[in-house]
Structure 1
Amino acid sequence: MSFQTPITIYDAIKNISSRKYLLPAIQREFVWSEEQIERLFDSIMRGYPIGSFLFWKVSKESVKKYQFYEFICHYHQGKTHNQKAVLLGDEEIISVLDGQQRLTSLYIALKGSYASKVPYRRWNDPAAFPKKYLYLNLLKEAGDEDLNYDFRFLTEEDAKKRDENTFWFKVGDILNFDPQDPSQINDYLIENQLATNKFASRTLFRLSDVIFKRPIINYYLEEDQELDKVLNVFIRVNSGGTQLSYSDLLLSIATAQWDEKDAREEIINFVDEINSVGRGFSFNKDFVLKTCLVLCDFNDIRFKVDNFNKQNMSVIQDNWDKIKESIRTTVELINTFGFDYQTLTSNNAIIPIAYYLYKKDLKNNFVTSVNFRDEREKIKKWLHIVLLKQTFGGNSDYILSIIRDIIRQNLNGFPAEIMKQRLKGTTKSLDFGDEEIENLLEYEYGKKYTFSVLALLYPTLDYNNLFHQDHIHPKSFFTSREKLLKLGVKPEDIDFCLENYNKIPNLQLLEGNINMSKSAKPFMEWLYENYKDDTAKNQYKELHYLTGLDLPIVNFKEFFCKRRELMKNRLRQILVS
């Protein structure tokens, strides 16, 4: 490895555009934010060093052995995958081992665009991802004390807004000027009535200088063609900052070693597929690859490079279709339990379910067939319990190995009770004491584990429908002491109401459309409007732990305490059986 003569940003961008610079499969995806790119350009304009880069010269013979990917030009937060490079293999390339985030940022800023999600808009709304370009204000410095230059990602419409302190110049347009002909920049300044503004002139010329003339891309070049050495170098240089995940290493090795499939594309596309089930999940490559290690019965399931050898990769490739089916069926199953990306608090917790389906060779009819109804209920209860006990927190490899052994030896039915007995008295015990059950009812609206507690309390609901966590007494009533007093709550109960209204004893699970109709109506008013028949009203009360309770909000403290006791007793029956 040797240090090379530095090049300019313009030279680097040309090499990316011509696909001379590419990314190895080992690289993680682009993750920099708009702010990080803006700060990078501020550093460049101020003459700060932006770090060295590490490139790997891949011979035309070696190019055929590995898979490479193009740099992202137009970044879209909802579609972050790099496009696979199609190479003829008749010429050498430069593969970027260190510096992908910085080079991609330069490429996006000068040749592309950045589309990040607008807060509060739905992910499937096209308007949620407006296309933005990097602009530089030619009239005023940045208002931030840490920045000198005002770089911002803006839509073209926003960039047209100008005043005495604002003139936005699209940074990529600097490539339209000939750096050897300064009159072109002068003409631009004159045309836009900026010729007499010293800051504008100085800033635009400086931008041209740092892009075209200053050799600030300092890089080392590795020329060895052995993958093992290159991987070792890559791990070393990526040991700081965002830690390289072993899944990225595995994807690189698998892509080189799988001879029938493209491992990177297979795994990334499969992650996208299972994340689109139901209301969406947040699985990643690490989850899929960890599941592969477990399902293939490898003794060591840790993310170690040694575990991703050619023999193991061959086993995963041979069983990939069955692995996918088992994971997919598992995700479809937990979707029917009401889980999504917000309520599934541990992805690793569903790996034992996938292993059970894999060993039993159960297809997706397991999700719907009446023949498996009791088994599904057993799995659902088990999953809620291990999530609430946080069984897969900490050293999850240890518990996954134990549970895998239990399942392998007990395939007559999902062995939830055997797991409970085997783990009794250990740090991973699935038993609940009275104090733990009390604490479960302290969870609040929208928090991580609230859904699992409510789902245990509502075992008969059909979670194929969308259910909302709903405040029985609307939270809008608890915004101030004055409002509660007006509603008739006794002054001595006010503090109790404000401290507890958001907790589980004031929550219920309601179908989404019913919850929308309920809105912020007083509970008694809504109940009598919607359940005029006494039988229906009593059934509703029975389902929601309201039988025998004094329901007007003026009695909130008594209502809360009695409903809490009903729920605690029910949880004790469920969890201590």
Structure 2
Amino acid sequence: MDYQSYSIRKILDAVTSGEIRIPAFQRGFVWEMDRVAHLLDSIYKGYPFGSLLFWRTKQQLAAERSLGTFTLPDPEAEYPIDYVLDGQQRLTSIFTVFQTELKPEKNPEWMDIYFDLDAGDNPQDSAFVALEKVEDAERQRYFPMRVLFDSVGYRSNTEHLDKTRIATIDKLQEKFKEVTIPVQVLKSEDRSIVAIVFERINHLGVALDTLQLLSAWTWSEDFDLLDKFRDLRDELSDFGFAGVGDDSDLILSCVAGILAGEPGPETLLNLNGSDVRAQFPRVEQGIRGAIDFLRTQLKVVHLKLLPYPSMLVPLAVFFAEPEGKDVVYNAATYNRLKRWFWRTCFSARYSSQTRKTTIYDIQQAELLKNGQPNTFGEIDLKVDEAFFKSSFRVGAAATKTFVLLLSNNYPKSLLSGKEIDLDRVLQSYNRSEFHHTYPRAFLRENGYDEPSINMLANFCFLSAAENRNIGRKRPSVYLQDLGGTEHNVDETLASAFCAAEEFNDDYDGFIKARMARLVAFAEKLTA
């Protein structure tokens, strides 16, 4: 094992040249943006932030991952390849923040990291923040870290500052240029040695993907787990759930939940490989049944709409049956399944202690399926207006829950009165299909702040084209655009939890009335 030090510049160059790569058995990039900001803060303040572990080899693996949202270039022939065994999240964060050469795929969850020039000296507080956008008035305070090693960008983002602030940023640049990242390099062409290193890293608590290991463990001439996952992914892609096959942790948790009663790939290591092969048709049936139920009964037409992906596991357990057999259940069980779904979404039970919650729900789902006494869906919950005051943010669990609530009220296009093609709209699930009911421009002109404007209760299904039609009009004016003989305006507005008399330019009155309807509908769904 060699011990080396890499500068940030060297890391950037090694990745863009194809020298550093991500093996397929590594999991994808999963850090939240505040964690990325804290990593930069640790580097800046000289706090320990961990090392990287590379496996250096002359042979390129057949299967590799992207680095976050970057597709890596092919390595140059004369270079050996460094595969990242440990530290992928740190490496991806550093590269994504500072690189300027590769073009990333779109990632709505990623935000730029900024240095806060007004941050205090408190060692506990971070001097770096993740922001979606910095207004012109804020450019005196926030410096974008993405231009720190880009001379042109550096100049354009400092020329408007006074000498004191420029000096501060110059020192910031010097610090990041000088910092070195400790790297351990394992040099070996013996893959058995590399496999032992993988396993030992895993035992030390570093979360590596066990799919490759499990695939080899369960392999037989007529059964390849990787092929089974690929086939399942291809099948589910037609229904918007290809992501289940892409997320090996999630699908392995479904396998473990069905076969062992507990989620998590590590649970499968205690099972016999031949048992996994023999029982895999039950797994496929369970996942298919769960997704069919989500799609047809709850309007969850895409995995990215599921507020908490782990919710798929108990449902897969409920629907798991031998090949060719379906679960038969009565109306009471059907209602209990739906109540469990909505109460889980609104209570955010899966936002913490996910494993413990999932194990409990798996047990109760089995009891429900077998007609035995159970508490499945009996979750303490009180939905109130506070839920609908949170901000609309694509990707947030509360926003997904809100969108599904709207979807289950059979919404119609505000302008045409036609029923919205939910499959089309929800498959794309992006900000362009949802807009403010009371226009943002109108509210800003009337002194409302962004949290008040962007609360869930002010959003509805509204395409970009419809939103442009509304433009900067007052609600009392654009209400007239909804009239005519083409459709029943009251019925259309009711499908969006609105009423015509509330489009009177009184935003506070509108919000109060709409939130009351949203709470009432949520109570109906969770009853």
How do 1:136-535 residues align onto structure 2 when only pairs under 5 Å count? 219=186, 221=188, 229=196, 231-235=198-202, 239=204, 244-246=206-208, 248-259=209-220, 260-267=222-229, 270-271=232-233, 274=236, 277-278=239-240, 281=243, 284-296=247-259, 298-304=260-266, 307-309=268-270, 311-336=271-296, 337-339=298-300, 340=302, 342-359=304-321, 379-380=337-338, 382-411=340-369, 418-421=375-378, 430-433=379-382, 436-446=383-393, 447-456=396-405, 459-461=408-410, 463-466=422-425, 468-479=433-444, 483-484=445-446, 494-495=447-448, 499-510=451-462, 518=470, 521-533=473-485
Displacement of 1:397 in angstroms is: 2.6
Residues 24, 96 of structure 1: 8 Å contact kept: yes
Q: Secondary structure at the match of 1:470?
A: strand
Q: Secondary structure at the match of 1:431?
A: coil
Residues 52, 220 of structure 1: 8 Å contact kept: no
Change (3 A) 1:276 1:478: farther
Residue by residue over 1:115-142, the C-alpha shift from the partner in whole angstroms, topping out at 9 and shown as x without a partner, is 632678xxxxxxxxxxxxxxxxxxxxxx
C-alpha distance in structure 1 between counterparts of 2:225 and 2:145, whole Å: 46
Residues 29, 81 of structure 1: 8 Å contact kept: no
Which residue is equivalent to 1:165? none
Displacement of 1:290 in angstroms is: 0.7
Residues 54, 222 of structure 1: 8 Å contact kept: no
C-alpha distance in structure 1 between counterparts of 2:500 and 2:452, whole Å: 21
Q: Secondary structure at the match of 1:473?
A: coil
Q: Which runs of 5 or more residues in structure 1 are unaligned?
A: 33-49, 59-67, 83-93, 106-112, 121-143, 153-215, 422-429, 485-493
Which letter maps to 1:432? L
Change (3 A) 1:364 1:405: closer
Displacement of 1:471 in angstroms is: 1.8
Residues 407, 422 of structure 2: 8 Å contact kept: no
C-alpha distance in structure 2 between counterparts of 1:386 and 1:147, whole Å: 43
How do 1:41-80 residues align onto structure 2 when only pairs under 5 Å count? 69-70=61-62, 77=69
Which letter maps to 2:315? I
Which letter maps to 1:475? R
Residues 437, 568 of structure 1: 8 Å contact kept: yes
C-alpha distance in structure 1 between counterparts of 2:256 and 2:464, whole Å: 39
Which residue is equivalent to 1:559? 510
C-alpha distance in structure 2 between counterparts of 1:74 and 1:572, whole Å: 43
Change (3 A) 1:361 1:517: farther
Change (3 A) 1:116 1:441: closer
Displacement of 1:299 in angstroms is: 4.7
Displacement of 1:355 in angstroms is: 1.6
C-alpha distance in structure 2 between counterparts of 1:503 and 1:416, whole Å: 40
Change (3 A) 1:458 1:333: same
Displacement of 1:295 in angstroms is: 1.1
C-alpha distance in structure 1 between counterparts of 2:258 and 2:404, whole Å: 28
Residue by residue over 1:412-454, the C-alpha shift from the partner in whole angstroms, topping out at 9 and shown as x without a partner, is 78x9994133xxxxxxxx2223xx4222121232353134235
Residue by residue over 1:305-350, the C-alpha shift from the partner in whole angstroms, topping out at 9 and shown as x without a partner, is x7414x4333222233442343245335434544445532211012
C-alpha distance in structure 1 between counterparts of 2:490 and 2:288, whole Å: 40
TM-score by length of 2: 0.57
Residues 388, 455 of structure 2: 8 Å contact kept: yes
Which residue is equivalent to 1:195? none
TM-score by length of 1: 0.53
Which residue is equivalent to 2:131? none
C-alpha distance in structure 2 between counterparts of 1:365 and 1:81, whole Å: 48
Aligned residues: 402
Change (3 A) 1:235 1:99: closer
C-alpha distance in structure 2 between counterparts of 1:357 and 1:419, whole Å: 14
Residues 69, 107 of structure 2: 8 Å contact kept: no
Residue by residue over 1:30-75, the C-alpha shift from the partner in whole angstroms, topping out at 9 and shown as x without a partner, is 999xxxxxxxxxxxxxxxxx977557999xxxxxxxxx93376998
Residues 471, 508 of structure 1: 8 Å contact kept: yes
Residues 367, 373 of structure 2: 8 Å contact kept: no
Displacement of 1:280 in angstroms is: 7.0
Which letter maps to 1:438? E
Which letter maps to 1:70? A
Which letter maps to 1:352? P
C-alpha distance in structure 2 between counterparts of 1:504 and 1:148, whole Å: 36
Residues 390, 456 of structure 2: 8 Å contact kept: yes
Q: Secondary structure at the match of 1:359?
A: coil
Change (3 A) 1:409 1:72: closer
Residues 55, 186 of structure 2: 8 Å contact kept: yes
Residue by residue over 1:393-427, the C-alpha shift from the partner in whole angstroms, topping out at 9 and shown as x without a partner, is 322232222222222222278x9994133xxxxxx
User: Comparing 384-393 with 445-454, which one deviates more in the overlay?
Assistant: 445-454
Residues 356, 411 of structure 1: 8 Å contact kept: yes
C-alpha distance in structure 1 between counterparts of 2:147 and 2:488, whole Å: 65
Which residue is equivalent to 2:171? none
Change (3 A) 1:317 1:409: same
Change (3 A) 1:381 1:533: farther
Which letter maps to 1:254? S
Q: Which runs of 5 or more residues in structure 2 are unaligned?
A: 4-9, 32-50, 75-80, 93-100, 109-143, 153-182, 411-420, 427-432
In our comparison, the structure showing a higher alpha carbon Rg is 1
CA RMSD in angstroms comes to: 5.7
User: Comparing 464-473 with 331-340, which one deviates more in the overlay?
Assistant: 331-340
C-alpha distance in structure 1 between counterparts of 2:388 and 2:66, whole Å: 47
Which letter maps to 1:345? P
C-alpha distance in structure 2 between counterparts of 1:235 and 1:252, whole Å: 12
C-alpha distance in structure 2 between counterparts of 1:74 and 1:330, whole Å: 29
C-alpha distance in structure 2 between counterparts of 1:148 and 1:513, whole Å: 39
C-alpha distance in structure 1 between counterparts of 2:471 and 2:293, whole Å: 31
Residues 469, 507 of structure 1: 8 Å contact kept: yes
